[in-house]
């Protein structure tokens, strides 16, 4: 399937919901059918808290993890990138 590699979450949508939605679209399935559920891989509330504004200031950074055979990167800019976990085009981590 050919899907856009990244999407930007709406300010009203928590990052965890965007991850679930984007992975489902990338996999061509319904979000309710994703296995395992996101909460079995990471704490969705913790993910949302990472990017919650604190005292009116937006946090910066990004977090990456694997979920349902996908490599997912969530950025503080609202970007959620979903790629196949075995995608060779992704750069290897720096040492």
Total domains, the chain: 1
- Edge-to-edge, what's the strand order for the sheet holding 79-84? 6-8, 79-84, 70-75, 62-67
Q: Is residue 33 part of a domain?
A: yes
Q: Is residue 89 part of a domain?
A: no
Q: Is residue 57 part of a domain?
A: yes
Strand, helix or coil for residue 78:
coil
Q: Is residue 37 part of a domain?
A: yes
Q: Is residue 91 part of a domain?
A: no
Q: Is residue 49 part of a domain?
A: yes
Query: Do the beta carbons of residue 26 and residue 70 sit within 8 Å?
Result: yes
pTM over 0.75: yes
Q: Is residue 79 part of a domain?
A: yes
Query: Do the beta carbons of residue 41 and residue 72 sit within 8 Å?
Result: no
Domain region containing 75: 8-84
pLDDT tens for each residue of 6-65: 566 666 789 999 999 999 999 999 999 999 999 999 999 999 999 888 888 888 999 999
């Amino acid at each position: 399937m050919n899907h856009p590699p990244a999407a930007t979450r709406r300010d009203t949508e928590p990052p965890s919901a965007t991850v679930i939605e984007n992975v489902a679209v990338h996999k061509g399935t319904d979000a309710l059918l994703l296995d395992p559920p996101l909460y079995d891989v990471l704490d969705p509330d913790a993910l949302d808290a990472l990017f919650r504004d604190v005292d009116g200031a937006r946090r910066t950074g990004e977090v990456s993890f694997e979920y349902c055979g996908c490599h997912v990167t969530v950025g503080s800019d609202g970007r959620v990138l979903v790629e196949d976990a075995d995608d060779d085009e992704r750069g290897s981590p720096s040492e």
